[in-house]
Amino acid sequence: MLTRGTLIYIAQRLALIAFTLVAVSFLVFITVHSLPGSAFESERVHGKALQLLLHEYGLDRPVLVQYWSFLTNAIRGNLGVSFQIRGLPITPLVMRELSVSAELGGTALLITIGLGTTFGVLAALRQNTWVDYTLTSIAVVGYSVPSFVLAGLGVLIFSYWLPTVTNGVISYPAIWTGSYGTLVELSLPAIILGFYTSGQVTRITRAAMLEVLQQDYIRTARAKGLKSRVVTVRHALRNALIPVISILGPLVISIITGSVIIETIFGIPGLGKEFVESITAADYNITVAVFTVYALLIGIANLIVDLLYTVVDPRIRY
Amino acid sequence: MTDSILEVRNLSTHFFTDDGEVKAVRGVSFSVAPGETLGIVGESGCGKSVTAMSVLGLVQRPGKVVGGEIMFKGSDLLKLSKEELRNIRGRDIAMIFQDPLSSLNPVLRVGFQIDEAMYAHDKIPKDQVETRGVDLLKQVRVSDAARRIKDFPHQFSGGMRQRAMIAMGLSNKPDLLIADEPTTALDVTVQAQILELLRDLNEQTGAAIILITHNLGVVAGLCKRVLVMYAGEIVEQGTVEQIFERPQHPYTWSLLRSVPRIDANRGHRLLSIEGLPPDLIDLPQGCKFNPRCPFRVERCFTESPLLEQVAPEQRAACWVTMERAYAEMGAGSITDTSPGAASGIHPTGRARPAVEVPVAMAEPVSD
């Protein structure tokens, strides 16, 4: 499986990801430092005191020098300190929040793949029946209703109209200390986060299955006398998954960007919520750090997707 | 023939499309004796493949077998349950297809695809499957079989893929192998190799073969008996010698006249069959070949001819038959193959007018 060519390919891609990280962090760094205002504005410090504060954080140096020191520190795993909560190291903060977001995003991705492919296959096998129409309709709702509408609706239904069903616990508690959410805390935001992407996967899987089921090799498989379940899963689904994998990269990005909204609405202490709060508070070090982590996640997700191709389709080799 | 392994009686398969009912196969009857090689010929869309797919129960919606019996080893395949039919498919009756690239699953190893045909049925003991897989690939003359069996289809050449398909078909030692255009997508040299392979396998394994093709040369090379199909019906059947030397149906005759021959006299004109096969939704009255037949007579427009004995073992469905066409219509020296050219019968049943284009067609009536 891991041939020399594949290893070289992975090395190249990792180098490309590293380059992307530098480029993304540079752009974001320059952009946020060009914005008017600072994290200390709300504290009403002026004159000498502000100068001292800026000097303490190295903010009185030229931007490029600041970026260079950020970069050299970041390579060693130090993403700097927060302005808002003075001196709080960002790396452990971001790592903890990443684990929360990864749990949410991972669950949403599992729902996306599990539900999306199941719905897609069922809709294709029962084409033009009520099963197909129902599942396709759910998928259309999934990829046409914005997640913040669904999230708002979810909050309304489960915490306002039906508080007894959930005892009012629809997501993470207000003051949350642990690093992972329980299934109860996780389920509603994860379903809403994965709803859009599930709809997309349903649509692609259905279309791909319908096309694959017309292929000659499906006829061959049936002519061999294979059971219809074997024909569907082993022969049809494996081929239908190839286009599904190709949209997995964009879908992972959807989940990451969607998590910013969902975490904010449900108050989940993850990377997305931190992202929004750091911008509001002009805590730029955190903004740059979160942005860079997002770029890393997307880069790695796309690499994994491209490697998945070789697992599903033997004609693709790197 | 009572000792036939497959006997198809009055088979009709229609496709229920939005445009209407496509009557792809209508009242087809034939039988296959054990170890026999039967060819089914006809141009594209004449129902050859649909006939074969009907036998295996592989006709997909909107297609449906609407009538007839398919007797195989004493039971009617059309009356079996899905599971019983599945167990016959690939086990007792195997089928190989036209395009060996698209007929193999691109994401599964060739060996796996051969082996799973055996695992799907209990005929071959499980512990012998893998060695038999390699043996089969050797038997169909794929060199370096033990290594190549681990390849994916895209690593095989076209001929090797068809060999792998044949290996798959033979894996469960079927009594009948249906080969649907097995050589169409291949080079001429590879075609010859595949035909030779099929011939040898027929002799070695004793499996009967139904060969479906539009290539008369392929039939001549492999088959002992031939069915000629046109527009969903059998129009002629006989031994390969009878069909090639004394065809009795004008369609068979025209087909043979349209094949280029290396031993033909110089100046021998290659004749084409004018017109197109009929619309299977809206079939012509009478004989289905009448709109294209140079020898048609008035009766052809009103009554459908049935298959009649014209010689021992040879049957043809024609009111004229070539014997009469030669004797009365000068079929031996014909150069004009347009409809009714030899018999002088115009589509309306009148003699051909001097002016070719009817006025009604040149100037459409505006109402």
DSSP string covering B265-315: PTTPPPP---S-PPPSSSPPSS-TTGGG-TT--GGGGT-PPPPEEEETTEE
Statement to judge: residues B142 and B97 lie in one domain:
yes
Is residue B129 a part of any domain in this protein?
yes
- Higher pLDDT among residues A160 and B355, named by residue: A160
Contacts of A226 in chain B (CB under 8 A): 86, 90, 116-117, 120
Chain A with chain B: Cβ pairs closer than 8 A: 78
Q: Which of A57-66, A164-173, A251-260, B150-159 has the lowest mean pLDDT?
A: A164-173
Q: What is the mean pLDDT of residues B198-205?
A: 89
Q: Which residues contact B195 (CB under 8 A, 6 or more apart)?
A: B183, B218, B221, B222
B-chain residues near A238 (CB < 8 A): 105, 107-108
CA pair distance B261, B217, nearest whole angstrom: 10
Task: Tell if the CB–CB gap between A217 and B58 is shorter than 8 Å.
Answer: no
Which residues in chain B are closer than 8 Å to A245, comparing Cβ atoms?
A: none
pLDDT of residue B2: 54
Give chain B positions within 8 Å (CB) of A315: 106-107, 152, 154
A220 CA: distance to closest CA in chain B (Å) = 6
Predicted local distance difference test score (pLDDT) of residue A100: 87
A148-157, B8-17, B204-213: segment of lowest average pLDDT: A148-157
Are residues B15 and B89 both part of a single domain? Answer: yes
Residues B281 and B139 in one domain: no
pLDDT at B358 over 50: no
Decide: residue B126, CB within 10 A, 0-12 exposed, 13-18 middle, 19+ buried: exposed
Q: What is the mean pLDDT of chain A?
A: 87
CATH of the domain at B186: 3.40.50.300
Contact between chains at B58 and A219 (C-beta distance less than 8 A): yes
Do B170 and B276 fall within a single domain? no
Q: Is the pLDDT of residue B183 over 90?
A: no
B47 belongs to a structural domain: yes
The partner residue sitting opposite A221, judged by closest CB among B87, B99, B105, is B105
Question: Is the Cβ of B133 closer than 8 Å to some Cβ of chain A?
Answer: no
d(CA B257, CA B255): 5
Which residue of chain A comes nearest to B165, CA vs CA? A220
For B153, the closest chain A residue by CA position comes to A315
Residue whose structure tokens are 């505006």:
B366
Residues of B in contact with A215 (CB under 8 A): 102
B91–A314 C-beta distance less than 8 A: no
Q: Are residues B93 and B154 in the same domain?
A: yes
B196 in the same domain as B64 = yes
Residues in chain A with CB shorter than 8 Å from the CB of B91 are 225
Pair (B201, B278) in one structural domain: no
Predicted local distance difference test score (pLDDT) of residue B73: 87
pTM: 0.81
Q: Give the whole-angstrom CA distance, residue A118 versus residue A109.
A: 14
Looking at the complex, does the CB of residue B301 fall below 8 Å from at least one CB of chain A? no
**B168 at interface of A, judged by CB pairs closer than 8 A:** yes
Tokens standing for residue B339: 């409809």
Question: In chain B, which residue's Cα lies nearest the Cα of A212?
Answer: B105
Of B102, B107, B120, the CB nearest to A216: B102
User: In Å, how far is B100's CA from the nearest CA of chain A?
Assistant: 9
With b for 16 or more beta-carbon neighbours within 10 A and e for fewer, the A225-255 pattern comes to bbeeebbbebbbbbbbbbebbebbbebbbbb
User: Which chain A residue's Cα is nearest to B102?
Assistant: A216
pLDDT for A49 beyond 60 = yes
Residue to mutate among A210, A220, A309, A310, with most B CBs inside 10 A, is A220
Measured between beta carbons, the chain A residues lying within 8 angstroms of B109 are 314
Lowest mean pLDDT among A169-183, A296-310, B141-155, B291-305: A169-183
Residue B322 has what pLDDT? 84
CA angle B354, B358, B360 (to 5 degrees): 155
Instruction: State phi, psi for B19 to the nearest 5 degrees.
Output: -85, -15
Residue B94 included in any domain: yes
Q: Do the Cβ atoms of A188 and A182 come closer than 8 Å? A: no
B56 and A223: CB-CB below 8 Å? yes
Tally of domains in chain B: 2
Mean pLDDT score, B167-174: 90
Does residue B230 sit within a domain? Answer: no
What structural domains and CATH numbers belong to chain A?
94-284 (1.10.3720.10)
pLDDT surpasses 80 at B243 = yes
Is B253 domain-assigned?
yes
What is the rounded average pLDDT for all residues in chain B?
A: 85
Q: Is the pLDDT of residue A205 over 80?
A: yes
Residues B192 and B65 in one domain: yes
Q: CB B108 to CB A227 under 8 A?
A: no
Q: How confident is the model at residue A166 (pLDDT cuts 50, 70, 90)?
A: low
Top-confidence residue, B289 or B329:
B289
Task: Taking residues A114-124, report their average pLDDT.
Answer: 94
> Hey, is the C-beta of B104 within 8 angstroms of any chain A C-beta?
yes
Residues B209 and B278 grouped into a single domain:
no
| B43 close to B214: Cβ distance less than 8 angstroms | yes
* Contacts B106 to A, Cβ<8 Å: 217, 239, 313-315
Whether the CB of B69 is below 8 Å from some CB of chain A: the reply is no
Pair B140, B164: CB distance under 8 Å:
yes
CA dihedral of A281, A287, A290, A295, whole degrees rounded to 10: 150
The per-residue pLDDT for A171 is 58
For residue B323, being part of any structural domain is answered with yes
Pair B258, B169 in one domain: no
Looking at the fold, whether B185 and B278 belong to one and the same domain comes out as no
Instruction: Give backbone dihedrals phi and psi of B25, rounded to 5 degrees, phi first.
Output: -135, 130
User: Which residue range(s) make up the domain with B136?
Assistant: 6-223
pLDDT in tens, A69-96: 999 999 998 888 888 777 788 888 888 8
Q: Which of the residue ranges A46-55, A171-180, B28-37 would you say has the lowest mean pLDDT?
A: A171-180
* Shortest alpha-carbon distance between residue A203 and chain B (Å): 22
d(Cα A174, Cα A184) in Å, to the nearest integer?
Answer: 15
For residue B58, the chain A residues in CB contact (below 8 A) are 219, 222-223
Nearest CA in chain B to A315: B154
User: What does DSSP say about strands B225-230 and B233-239: parallel, antiparallel, or unpaired?
Assistant: antiparallel
- CB–CB contact B106 A239 (8 Å): yes
* Rg (alpha carbons) of chain A, rounded to whole number: 24
Please indicate, yes or no, if residue B158 is contained in any of the structural domains.
yes
8 Å CB contact between B25 and B54: yes
Classify residue B124: in a domain, yes or no.
Answer: yes
Q: How many CA atoms lie within 13 A of A224 on its CB side?
A: 31
The reply to whether B288 and B195 lie within a common domain is no
CA distance A196 to chain B (A): 29
Which chain B residues are Cβ-neighbours of A221 within 8 angstroms? 105
Residue of A216, A227, A239 lying closest to B107 (CB–CB):
A239
Q: How far is B101 from chain A (nearest CA, A)?
A: 9
B210 DSSP β-pair partners: B38, B178
CB A263 within 8 A of CB A272: yes
Tell which of B91, B93, B107 to mutate to test the A interface (max A CBs under 10 Å): B107
